[in-house]
Chain A
Amino acid sequence: MYKVCDFIIDLCEKGKASYADARIVEMNYESLTVKKGELSGIENSISKGVGIRVIVNGAWGFASTNDLSEKSLRKNVELAISIGKASSHLIKQKVRLTEDKVYQDTWSSPYILDPFNVTWEDKVGLLMDCDRILSQDKKIVDSKAYMSFSKEVQWFVSSEGARIKQQILRSGGGMSAIASNGNEFQRRTYPASFGQYYQGGYEVIQGFKLLENAENTRKEAIALLDAPQCPSGKKDLILHGEQLALQIHESIGHATELDRVLGLEANFAGRSFVTLEKKGKFKYGSKLMNIVADPTCPMGLGTYGYDDDGVRAERFHVIKDGVFENYLGNREFAHTVNETHSRACNRAQGWMHIPIVRMPNLSLMPGEGTLEEIIADTKDGLIVDTVKSWSIDQYRYNFQFGMEAGWVIKDGSISHMVKNPTYQGITPEFWGSMDRVAGFSEWKLNGVPNCGKGQPMQVAEMSHGCSPARFKKVEIGIMR
């Protein structure tokens, strides 16, 4: 594949590109779903193509194709160059890339069991067994168990001399049960709303203990039907797992992506309230708030050796002791925040898309104590579980989330389950109200396998690590 990349770079240089890179990506994907006792089919997909990125006259051009014939490659290099020339007529200044170190390297995500070698009997059998347990009640009107795996191999070559081969294996899955009493329905999922995913092999699926958790998933879906509605008003809110991960993702991750801050997403995803003058001084949240970007974190969905600029991944603080420190950036935008090297956050979906600023794994660092201690320390609160609904404004400022289930806390212990819990807040006020973060023993990664951004839309994966945290006097029960 390097030979094909070299051929492309040579053509780009002959076409007067001042910079060029070629990224060939080969993706193998497999998914299995069992729905209401029926195997909905096994899907396999194989995709291979190349993305060609050039700087011509100081402007970017990009063309991608899955036709790797010489004729097609020549056509697409020409196209990328003509696009760069067209762009150069309307730019304020020429693209300035940081002078980061150039690497020739290989990198692979570790795994134990290759899921593509696990027998179909084992995979389908597990899903069938889960689905059977999920649906063992007349009130369950729909059930689903699923798993999927992807193996992505990428060759990256740049005109600066970079030659990097990376392989990433991702595995994940989950299950859901929908209960109905004729008047309403409630859904419960495990281990996360859209499944849980990690970098790793089939050992990831084994670690979920799907079978052992199917009965509880079914029972909680049914229990929600008779549970009272979530009360309205202000209560202390305990977030953990997937929901706290989503809170980090939406109100910190996207808010600190430098392309948004610079206005490049203004017409679509929006801008950010974390404007440039806030770097190094804005109080984002309480002193307990330490947010770290870490694309080197083992098993994270946003873990890589090098980003799609060819820059080596690095760990850094985005927020330290509650104060905003660093944006998520790339080689192109580093100079806008007076940085001389890239933060290695430029990633593309597959071969088809141009790299854009993407959050890597972004985590809330652990504090002290346990969830049990936090609950015991809460007089009037609510603990919620599993993402159901999310919405945040175009500045990443006003948000509202809904979860599958909640439990009211009274005088230090859990009182009862409630349905349709929601909460709403303003980002810095909300993070400013965080007064407890549990310790490392309860810290875990939560995968986001479906983050959409950009035009044309790209989907990226990342993880958010966190241990349970408490937020004081949060507005809950919004929909009532």
Chain B
Amino acid sequence: MSLTYQDRIKEKRDLSKKIIDIAKEFVPFVFVMINSGKDALTRFGENEITQNVSQEITGAEILLVKDKKVSKVSLDDLSKENIKMVIEKAATLLEFQEDQEHIPDFPIDEIIENENLNWDKETASVSPEKRSEVVKGFVKKCKENKLLASGTVSDVVNSITLASSKGLFAYHEYTRGEFTATAMDDDGYSGWGSISEKSYDINKINELQENIVKKAILSKDPVEIEPKEYTVILEPAAVSDLFLFLSYVGLSTQGYYLGTSPFSNRLGEKILSEKLTITDDFSHEQNPGFPFDFEGVRKKSLEIVNKGILNRLPFDLKWAEKKGKSSTGHGFPFPNTMGPLCGNLVIAPGESSMEEIISSSKDALLITHFHYTNIINPNDITITGMTRDGVYKIKDGKITNSVKNMRFTESVIKALNNIEAISSDQVFQSAFFGGGFVLPALKINNFRFSSKTDY
């Protein structure tokens, strides 16, 4: 019989207490993070299931603090004997360590969400057969259109627990039902789509599957065009690559104060298009964000950019102390060499639907998503990557044909200053560290492509 919500919390409370009680024999302060979950994933390619796995793990990261010395251990054998052995060894090592300049002043708090906020009972117990049925449905649609199906169906069940010897206890659990797939013709031209939500919504998945097949059909017989600057309409999956690097490089608080962010010393200044308002909001209905950060601080929703103006930055305990501020709940697990980051960005929607943006475009390219995007120059956040799974030419408000893939090389700052339109629809796109971004589509002028390919 599966455990109730209260049972699951009690189970983690008991485990964290067990660890803390053992550790307190050796050190005065203990901070524990328990990650527990199951990731089941069915992978398919060439119209058949090619891999089918279930992975479960419960592991703990334990910070031992004595005076100004800190030692961290991770383990996944959580028997009492093993915990004691590992902690004893780590505590011995404390003697050899140099003093830390900064030790976080971890909060005392109890953070427990309402039941089922991010958890779906059915998704927590999906059978491999159900995932197979989802795959079968997509393969059938692809076969009917002489296309090859590939992708994954997965269900994730996870919880994170933070506890300390001073009295912190924070618990968050979530489920995700995810489907991502490509439909490809014999020449390798394709359509793609993905969905990640708290639970499987078969109707939405079916709708997405239909759209992927339509895009693949539309991708046939692409025309080669020359790489240069084009007006582009980036679907949300393509937009997410821009915002990943914006968040990691540009909106990094550590980078801001060390001088490695291009926005250093520019708080209050216009840095991006006035059409852009960006918040970091874990509580947005489409975001699966945690209500607390990895230091146990309650997360705040922050308006990072207001109409293009850099409004404020995220803080963790270390940078808050350094700058005389309060933590905004954007800390990562100790030791953290990246500083605080925004992991739940939400880009405010515009007023036009995607259809209206397309129909009002005289000459543009519609981009499905990018492949293998990476940063070339952090000074202006220049990134490069390839278009993938559908690039379509728009002429006089209509999609006329597909075009061959191209490589873009463009500054994120320049691109986000050249926004012409923002769609009214937003979708969630997974990003990093269990977070993700809620993003609209963007129409951007003068977006630079630097080379082409045969595919």
Given contacts A267-B151, A389-B375, contact A178 B188 (CB under 8 A): no
A388 to B90, CA, bound (A): 35
- A192 to B52 CA separation, bound complex (whole angstroms): 36
Q: Does A273 contact B (CB under 8 A)?
A: yes
> Interface residue count for A (Cβ, 8 Å)?
86
Q: Which of A64, A180, A264 contacts B56 (CB 8 A)?
A: A64
Contacts of A91 in B (CB 8 A): 48-49
Q: How many residues of B contact A (CB 8 A)?
A: 89
Name the residue in B39, B49, B71, B131 with the highest tally of chain A Cβ atoms < 10 Å from its Cβ.
B49
- Quick check: is A120 within 8 A (CB to CB) of the other chain? yes
Asked if B268 is at the interface (CB within 8 A of a chain A CB), the reply is no
CB of B57 within 8 A of CB of A84, answer no
User: When the two chains form their complex, are residues A455 and B43 in contact, meaning their CB atoms are under 8 A apart?
Assistant: yes
Question: Given A84-B52, A456-B55, A35 and B128 touching (CB < 8 A)?
Answer: no
Q: Which residue of A lies closest to B452 (CB)?
A: A398
B227 to chain A, nearest CB (A): 10
Q: Which residues of A contact B (CB under 8 A)?
A: 29, 33, 35, 37-49, 59-67, 76, 79-80, 82-87, 89-92, 119-121, 124, 128, 141-142, 144, 178, 180, 182, 184-185, 262-268, 270-271, 273, 352-354, 356, 388-395, 397-398, 400, 402, 420, 422, 424, 426, 455-456, 475, 478-479
Interface residues of B (CB under 8 A from A): 39, 41-59, 70-77, 82, 86, 89-90, 93, 96-98, 100-102, 127-129, 131-132, 135-136, 139, 148, 150-152, 154, 180-182, 184, 188, 190, 192, 258-260, 334-337, 371-379, 382, 384-386, 388, 405, 407, 409, 450-455
A91 to B43, CA, bound (A): 12
Contact for B53 among A38, A43, A63, A270, CB less than 8 A: A63
Q: Which of B45, B131, B258, B405 contacts A141 (CB 8 A)?
A: B258
Q: Is the CB of A393 within 8 A of B43?
A: no
* A84 cross-chain contacts in B, Cβ below 8 A: 52
Nearest-neighbour CB distance to chain A for B265, whole angstroms, equals: 9
The docked-state distance in angstroms from the alpha carbon of A265 to that of B148 is 12
A42-B93, A393-B372 known; A264+B453 contact, CB < 8 A: no
Q: How far, in angstroms, from A478 to B382 measured CA to CA in the complex?
A: 11
Docked-complex contact B450 and A478, CB < 8 angstroms: yes
Alpha-carbon distance A35/B44, docked complex (angstroms): 43
* Bound: A49/B182 CA distance, A: 33
A59 and B49 contacting across the interface, CB-CB below 8 Å? yes
Query: Of all chain A residues, which has the CB nearest B38?
Result: A65
Contact A402 B74 (CB under 8 A): no
Q: Which of B101, B337, B371 contacts A33 (CB 8 A)?
A: B337
Known: A354-B53, A393-B407. A420 touches B376 (CB 8 A): yes
- Cβ contact of A424, chosen from B56, B182, B407, cutoff 8 A: B407
For B371, list chain A residues within 8 Å (CB): 270, 393-394
A46-B73 contact in complex given A86-B131, A120-B93, A180-B259, C-beta closer than 8 Å: yes
A59–B53 alpha-carbon span in the complex (Å): 12
Q: Is the CB of B96 within 8 A of A119?
A: yes
With a cutoff of 8 Å between Cβ atoms, the chain B residues found around residue A475 in the complex are 451
Question: Does A391 lie within 8 Å of B386, measured CB to CB?
Answer: yes
Please determine whether A390 and B75 come into contact, CB atoms closer than 8 angstroms: no
Picked from A87, A144, A184, the residue with its CB within 8 Å of the CB of B52 is A87
Give Cα A273 to B188, complex, Å. Answer: 10
Beta-carbon contact of B71 and A42 below 8 Å = yes
A42–B94 CA distance with the chains assembled, in angstroms: 9
Cβ–Cβ < 8 Å partners of A395 in chain B: 188, 453, 455
